[in-house]
Structure 1
Amino acid sequence: MSLEDVKAYFRPFNRDKDIIELQLSSATVDLAAEHLHVEPERIAKTLAFRGENKEGAMLVVTAGDARIDNKKFRKTFGFKAHMLSADETLDLVGHAIGGVCPFAVKHDWPVYMDESLKRFKTVFPACGSSNSAIELTIDELYSYGKGKAWVDVCKDWPEVEKEG
């Protein structure tokens, strides 16, 4: 049902028809990149964390090759990074692991976009299922994903300009 929610979310923007539905799973960065024929780093992965005071949730969208840096996360948000379990993610965010995205989220949780995404003109976030995606510019991702702020909470990605 989550894919249908995301389609409905994009309908007012006339972007619901731009959602790519794959025949095969795109539940991991590598699978998504392979099936979409793009570099893995251009897959925009959405990670769900326990919110401040261990209640609720928050989402961080990163480039496919970036990993959360616990020190940067703590410095930025003031608390330790605790990823939600698969059940918690589905319950609080409304999307199952492999399809988590910042669109049609179950509650109005804060969404942060990591600086690692700014290397690209376009990226491919999931759309609520383990076999869907949409190509968006960075500005569209921030806007449609209701970004609260740009943050620098990742490591292991090359800080060089790339075209996409």
Structure 2
Amino acid sequence: MQTESTAGNLPDTAQRVADLLSELGHDKPVVMLPETGKTSAEAAAGLGCSIAEIAKSIVFRRLSDDAAVMVVASGVNRVDEKKVAAVVGPLGKADAKFVKQRIGYVIGGVCPIGHVEKTVMLIDEDLLKLESVWAAAGHPHAVFNLTPRQLVSMTGATVADVALRDA
């Protein structure tokens, strides 16, 4: 049920992502979903893919320096804050204002690229088991498709085990 968009038809933040993707030589368009993609389940339903294929972006605040820390995780995984903290240092919550100021996108449309400030990035190792994933493109209705390796390359993120596993 997705609809592809061409240049000029996108909301400003999604157009910024589309322009950045073009600059990076990415050949897939930003897609506008008719319904919101704020949750992994909503995005997967709109795209006709599995929830695992949604690359959700979760933002934390690192306590030592107030830096934004983004974890891009598989839509089926809950992020284990203790595992993330073991890699980047103690974490705090990032509210909507912090995310908008430091990352540049509103919650529900947080894109893994094009941040307004340098962001500490981690990518869920489980995403690398998939052929392709869908990530938010700067707007709650906008997404784009890429391979997990492209995601790692575009973000320069560290791949890590960040998923909360059942004991």
The alignment's TM-score, normalised by the length of structure 2, stands at 0.85
Match of 2:160 in 1: 151
Identify which range, 88-97 or 68-77, moves more after superposition.
68-77
Measure the CA separation in 2 of the matches of 1:24 and 1:156: 31
Structure 2: 5+ residue runs without aligned partners? 1-11
Distance in 2 separating the partners of 1:10 and 1:60? 20
2:97 corresponds to which of 87, 91, 99:
87
Q: Secondary structure at the match of 2:70?
A: strand
- Map of 1:131 onto structure 2: 141
Q: TM-score scaled to structure 1, two decimals?
A: 0.86
Structure-1 residue corresponding to 2:121? 111
CA displacement 1:55-104 (0-9 Å, x = unmatched): 1211110000111113322322231x323111111111001011001111
RMSD between aligned alpha carbons?
1.8
Q: Check if 1:57 corresponds to 2:90.
A: no
Does residue 40 of structure 1 match 2:70? no
Q: Are the aligned partners of 2:28 and 2:144 in contact in 1 as well (CA < 8 Å)?
A: no
Unmatched runs of 5 consecutive residues or more in structure 1: 158-164
More off after superposition, 38-47 vs 50-59: 50-59
